[in-house]
Amino acid sequence: MLWDSNLIQKYNISGPRYTSYPTAPQFTGDVSKMELIGRMMEGSNLPISLYFHIPFCAHLCYYCACNKVVTKKYDKGAEYVELLAEEMRLRALMLDRDRKVTQLHLGGGTPTFLSVDNMRTLFKHVEENFNLVKDDSQDFSIEIDPREVDNAQLVLLKEFGFNRVSLGIQDFDPVVQKAIHREQSRELVAKVLDDVRTAGFKSVNFDLIYGLPHQTTTSFMQTIDSVIELNPERISVFNYAHLPSRFAAQRRINDEDLPSADEKMSILKESINALMRAGYRYIGMDHFAKPDDPLAVAQDNHELQRNFQGYTTNANTDLIAFGVSAISKIDGTYVQNHSDLALYQNSVENGQLAIMKGYISTRDDMIRHDVIMKLMCDFCLDSREISTKYRLNFMHYFTKEIEGLEQLKKDGIVRIDRETDHIIITVTAVGRLLVRRVCMLFDQYLNKQTTFSKII
């Protein structure tokens, strides 16, 4: 991966993150719930990836754009687990019990808001309803707030089969932490990391955010140095998107305290350079991993996938998601649960799936999905794969898009190897940071009014 300031300045426009295609703004409540349920029941023979959204947080982080409920009433965890159990029962009736679950992820919110007893109950219901794979191929992970976890939780997670944790770090600078209302010392994180290692977890991810108030290149590089010293297997460096009109908590962040666009670019550039010098591989977008980490291995084997959790291993799984606001994807059909906890609870308690909206992909959507995901995950697309799978002439089908690639080719963002009946599109080293811009050429919905974050 190479840095080119001029190209980044030219192409750093707003665009989707392509955790799905079509993207979430296309989901609609106009789709018949019965039709969505019917599509889910048709399903496929693919392995299953399970996601559980735990919305509760004991603390409000001002930067956060996730669906969350801020409370210190920990008894809410038990009530919520019972809702998840009933939703699992309803969903499991629609699925082949023999389909294997190869991935499981707990996100939030703060999943470790759940007590050990809550977790044990949740896992019991998971095992009752699904066929879990527990061998070297499994990928069971959880997001952890270092302020809200204890050894008993870690031991239980490991016993159940979890093998990866993601720690929310954001920044080690106390000034930044105070401004975003997330104060956690490096010493606390180091202790939690030691507990995680002692419990037997082999893969740890650190989440960082650049663009937060009071950050400078110098201060953030101190955080990067500390992260490298702590030696996680994966690191994510996310761009903070300041959208106070959409997310009320962000209104507590003063605009004048945010780093300038130039400073943000400097922070990102120096972070990338430092991580790559330390031996981390740039996976894509905002993800880095050690070369022997399963994420890097999956990319080498063309098995990387992108979903609502970002880049993950084990391509070709159906995603079944539970909890408030959770999004499932089954063979081109997207289904999103109610984002309001009361509405979600009312539906489940009445024996109904808590469907708020969804989307049923057309054939064109599925073709474009495969093109975009191939570029996002492999940085390369051989048109013959698409032509063969969908029995079409790629060169004719995407005539307009191929013409649009020419300018990106001139600027060195992509390389195009053209033959009579096919082309191979390769995102160059200098274009990898701008891969979203390449994918946008194949997105037919971008003319609709939607607010996205900047590409970088």
Cα separation values, 24 from 19, 234, 413, Å: 9, 26, 27
Give the start-to-end residue ranges of the domains of the chain: 1-15+363-446, 23-327
246 annotated ligand binder = no
Containing 221, the helix (H) or strand (E) segment is: helix 217-230
207 annotated ligand binder = yes
Q: Is the peptide bond before 22 cis (omega within 30 degrees of 0)?
A: yes
Cα–Cα distance, 211 to 195 (Å, whole number): 30
CATH entry 3.30.750.200 includes domain 23-327: yes
**Who's near 174: CB < 8 A, 6+ residues apart?**
183, 185
> Is the pLDDT score of 56 beyond 70?
yes
Residue type, 442: F
Which is higher by pLDDT, 52 or 39? 52
In the three-class reduction of DSSP (H, G, I as helix; E, B as strand; rest coil), residue 217 is classed as helix
113-127, 163-177, 294-308: which has the minimum mean pLDDT?
294-308
Strands 48-54 and 100-108: parallel
Tokens of 68: 């969350």
377 annotated ligand binder = no
Residue type, 163: N
65 annotated ligand binder = yes
280 annotated ligand binder = no
pTM of the entire predicted model:
0.93
pLDDT band at 32 (very low <50, low <70, confident <90, very high): confident
Which single residue is written with the structure tokens 């699904």?
Answer: 130
pLDDT band at 449 (very low <50, low <70, confident <90, very high): very low
85 annotated ligand binder = no
- What is the per-residue pLDDT across 338-385, written as a single tens digit (0 to 9) for each? 999 999 999 999 999 999 999 999 999 999 999 999 999 999 999 999
**Who's near 69: CB < 8 A, 6+ residues apart?**
55, 56, 57, 76, 109, 341
- Beta carbons of 234 and 295 less than 8 angstroms apart: yes
Q: Do domains 1-15+363-446 and 23-327 have the same CATH topology?
A: no
397 annotated ligand binder = no
Q: What is the pLDDT of residue 448?
A: 53
443 annotated ligand binder = no
Cα–Cα distance, 254 to 176 (Å, whole number): 12
pLDDT band at 455 (very low <50, low <70, confident <90, very high): low
Q: What is the DSSP letter of 333?
A: E
Residue whose C-alpha is closest to residue 79's, from 325, 320, 349, 347:
349
64 annotated ligand binder = yes
> Is the pLDDT score of 36 beyond 80?
yes
pLDDT band at 253 (very low <50, low <70, confident <90, very high): very high
30-39, 193-202, 356-365, 411-420: which has the minimum mean pLDDT?
30-39
Which single residue is written with the structure tokens 């297997």?
Answer: 233
- The whole-number average pLDDT for the span 412-437 is 94
The CATH code of the domain at 1-15+363-446 is: 1.10.10.920
- The whole-number average pLDDT for the span 245-251 is 93
332 annotated ligand binder = no
Containing 357, the helix (H) or strand (E) segment is: strand 355-360
Tokens of 132: 């879990």
Other beta carbons less than 10 A from residue 66's beta carbon: 15
- Beta carbons of 22 and 373 less than 8 angstroms apart: no
Residue whose C-alpha is closest to residue 439's, from 24, 23, 28:
23
Other beta carbons less than 10 A from residue 156's beta carbon: 16
Summary mean pLDDT of the chain: 93
Which is higher by pLDDT, 43 or 7? 7
- Beta carbons of 13 and 346 less than 8 angstroms apart: no
Sign of CA dihedral 141, 339, 210, 319: positive
Q: What percent of the chain has pLDDT over 70?
A: 98
Show contacts of 361-366: CB within 8 Å, 24+ apart.
Answer: 361/22, 361/332, 361/333, 361/334, 363/390, 364/444, 365/21, 365/22, 365/332, 366/332, 366/390
38 annotated ligand binder = no
* 407 φψ region: left (φ > 0), alpha (ψ -120 to 50), beta (else): alpha
Q: What is the DSSP letter of 258?
A: S
- The whole-number average pLDDT for the span 375-401 is 96
Strand partners, 142: 106, 165
Strand spans (E) along 179-246: 203-210, 234-239
- Beta carbons of 220 and 266 less than 8 angstroms apart: no
Which is higher by pLDDT, 308 or 264? 264
57-61, 93-97, 317-321: which has the minimum mean pLDDT?
93-97
- The whole-number average pLDDT for the span 69-80 is 96
Which single residue is written with the structure tokens 């808001």?
Answer: 113
437 annotated ligand binder = no
> Is the pLDDT score of 5 beyond 60?
yes
Which single residue is written with the structure tokens 């190479």?
Answer: 2
66 annotated ligand binder = no
Q: What is the pLDDT of residue 450?
A: 56
pLDDT band at 453 (very low <50, low <70, confident <90, very high): low
Q: What is the pLDDT of residue 38?
A: 83
Q: What percent of the chain has pLDDT over 90?
A: 81
- What is the per-residue pLDDT across 219-231, written as a single tens digit (0 to 9) for each? 999 999 999 999 9
